[in-house]
Amino acid sequence: MSEQQMTLKDRFDALLSLDSDLVLVVEDDVITRVSPGDEDWLIVSELKGKSLEDIFPSDYLTLIRGYIKTARQGHVVKNELVLRPDHQHAFKAMGLKEVTWYHSRMLVTESDELIWSLRNINDRKKLERRITSQAQRDPLTGAYNRRALMPVLEQNLAQAQRYDGVCSALIVDIDDFSKINDEYSWDGGDQLLRHLVTELHRMKRTADFLARFSDDQLFLVLPETNHEQALLAGERVRRLANSLELPYASGNITCTVSVGVATLAGLEDNAEDMIKRILENLAVARQSGGDRVEGESF
């Protein structure tokens, strides 16, 4: 190796040592250099000298080879990749302990070396998931919010229509909630809502979807549930509310609820129409004095 080549190699190695990214140099499908960057989980000696076939399962290898083919056409290939210890077993043996996301960049040099840089973006992904979760959750109760509810309801209705199935939903409205707030303060009302959501989570089936629909209303999507079964579910919710007694500084808080129920009404039905019918039935329950379940007449 000439002095000039040594100088270039030294510079390249120095640049790699300053880079926080995981950088791989691949020649003829074999990893010839590894700079771990900030990836302190990686056992470098276990990776260097391995072929791509040694470290990636066949489905993932096909994906990687496609990126490399594009890079050989003179492009810098950028994408996101995820390493999973339960899927990429070779990386698990090298120290990978959790699912880790990377921003991947590939280029191929004139001498046909693949330079592959992997930047850890796990913190960003976790933040994105947290923001997404917060955007779909009611901050008071932790239940899903109306924004999250609509796609779920629409999907369940579409599935029932496609497979000639059934689907129902109900809205739970706390009777005289404003009076509870007046008597026990807004904090008392908030505690009651949180308590009711907790108990409904314990009562509902795994497939059911619970969301906060408005200030004092909760929404339950009931997949594969006919109208008779939905009315029974509404009655269980009503009895559950009657049994609640929340200790509070100014006296135990109790409540009753009114429940409106509706069921998918054929191929032309949709989420908006179903919600309209639920609210109409809920209005009947409230006008009848509350503490009542009302459904549809067929």
For residue range 23-38, list pLDDT tens digits in order. Answer: 999 999 999 999 999 9
- Residue 43: its pLDDT value, please? 93
Q: Which two tokens stand for residue 44?
A: 């470098």
Residue type, 212: R
Query: Does 52 share its domain with 142?
Result: no
Percent of the chain with pLDDT over 90: 69
Q: How many domains does the chain have?
A: 2
Answer yes or no: is 21 within a domain: yes
Query: Does 171 share its domain with 193?
Result: yes
Measured between alpha carbons, how far is residue 132 from residues 74, 136, 192, 240, 249 in Å?
36, 6, 26, 31, 36
Residue 3 pLDDT greater than 60, yes or no: no
- Residue 221: its pLDDT value, please? 97
Answer yes or no: is 131 within a domain: no
Whole-prediction pTM: 0.61
- Phi and psi, residue 72, nearest 5°: -70, -15
User: Which ranges of 19-145 does DSSP label H, i.e. alpha helix?
Assistant: 44-47, 52-55, 58-71, 89-93, 122-135
- Phi and psi, residue 280, nearest 5°: -65, -45
pLDDT in tens, 115-134: 999 999 988 888 777 766 66
| Among candidate residues 4, 54, 47, the one with its CA nearest the CA of residue 22 | 47
Q: Looking at 48-62, 128-142, 258-272, which range is the least confident one?
A: 128-142
Higher pLDDT, 4 or 64: 64
Domain CATH for 121: 3.30.450.20
- Phi and psi, residue 36, nearest 5°: -70, -15
Check if the beta carbon of residue 263 is closer than 8 Å to that of residue 170: no
User: Which ranges of 98-209 does DSSP label H, i.e. alpha helix?
Assistant: 122-135, 146-162, 177-203
Domain CATH for 194: 3.30.70.270
Check if the beta carbon of residue 102 is closer than 8 Å to that of residue 80: yes
Residue 15 pLDDT greater than 80, yes or no: no
pLDDT in tens, 169-222: 999 999 999 999 889 888 889 999 999 999 999 999 998 999 999 989 999 999
Check if the beta carbon of residue 213 is closer than 8 Å to that of residue 173: no
**CB burial of residue 14 (10 Å; 0-12, 13-18, 19+):** exposed
Helix (H) or strand (E) holding 30: strand 30-35
Query: Does 155 share its domain with 103?
Result: no
pLDDT in tens, 219-277: 999 999 999 999 999 999 999 999 999 988 888 999 999 999 999 998 999 999 999 99
Distance, CA of 194 to CA of 216 (rounded, Å): 11
Number of residues assigned to the chain? 298
Q: Which two tokens stand for residue 94?
A: 């090298």
Longest dimension (CA), the chain: 95
- Phi and psi, residue 101, nearest 5°: -95, 145
Q: Looking at 68-77, 123-132, 277-286, which range is the least confident one?
A: 123-132
Q: How confident is the model at residue 9 (pLDDT cuts 50, 70, 90)?
A: low
Q: Which two tokens stand for residue 219?
A: 């929404």
Report helix angle 146-162 to 271-287, nearest 10. Answer: 110
**CB burial of residue 240 (10 Å; 0-12, 13-18, 19+):** middle
- Residue 8: its pLDDT value, please? 60
Query: Does 198 share its domain with 287?
Result: yes
Final residue of a structural domain among 126, 150, 178: 126
Residue 57 pLDDT greater than 80, yes or no: yes
Final residue of a structural domain among 79, 99, 126: 126
Give the DSSP letter of residue 144. Answer: B
Query: Does 188 share its domain with 280?
Result: yes
Domain extent, residue 84, equals 3-126
- What are the residues facing 27 on neighbouring strands? 30
